[in-house]
Chain A
Amino acid sequence: MITPQNIFRHELIGLHVMVVDSSHAGFIGIEGKVVDETKNTISIEQEDGTEKIVPKNIATFHFKLPSGKIVEIQGNVILARPEDRIKKKFKNFW
């Protein structure tokens, strides 16, 4: 189960996401489904079918969990490869 406590270690692909804050104004407001994840970027499929690639370290995301809850995550916290995030320590965040 994906909960707000373990979302940093869990799978982001397939979740609904919205970019709420960024140092580059063009990224703000992008909304849709996560379709791919690399070490530094997240690619988002919007509702009209276009794909956008957003860098993690300059943006803030709102993830919507399958249970309906919305979690805010700063991009620089999840700055790692998808398979490395399971064992990464998030000391400075908690």
Chain B
Amino acid sequence: MLKIAKERIDILFKLADKEFSEHPERSHRYVEIARNIATRYNIRMPRIWRRRFCKNCYLFLKPGYNSQVRLSKSCVVIRCFECGSTMRVPYIKEKKGKRRERIESHIIKKRTDE
């Protein structure tokens, strides 16, 4: 049963992406239905679609048409042109992981040299 709900959310977001250029009001409606399903059955939004709707006005976002994506201060900053709000998605964890990897490889190199 939960599998069906996940599939339906996926279908709805794909359709919203396809319909946006001609009928934007339809894609906003599809996001509303997908959110209703997710809240009803307590499912997390799939990772790829989590950044594709506004957290303030819940409209569908298409980068380059009604939203802007920038990187600043270790955050992905997504600005909604419909209501003017911004969401911030931090990526500091990935950055720290990379740094740690670099230091560890450096230490291993030193030991092998000694």
Binding site for B on A (CB under 8 A): 1, 6, 9-11, 13-14, 35-37, 81-84, 86-87
Alpha-carbon distance A84/B4, docked complex (angstroms): 12
Contact A36 B36 (CB under 8 A): no
Contact A9 B4 (CB under 8 A): yes
A5 to chain B, nearest CB (A): 11
Contact B7 A86 (CB under 8 A): no
Against A, the Cβ 8 Å flags (1 = close, 0 = not) of B1-39 are: 100110110011001000000010010011001001100
Binding site for A on B (CB under 8 A): 1, 4-5, 7-8, 11-12, 15, 23, 26, 29-30, 33, 36-37, 40-41
Contact A10 B7 (CB under 8 A): yes
Contact A35 B26 (CB under 8 A): yes
A42 to chain B, nearest CB (A): 13
**Top 7 nearest A-B pairs by Cβ distance?**
A83-B36, A11-B8, A83-B37, A11-B11, A83-B40, A14-B15, A9-B4
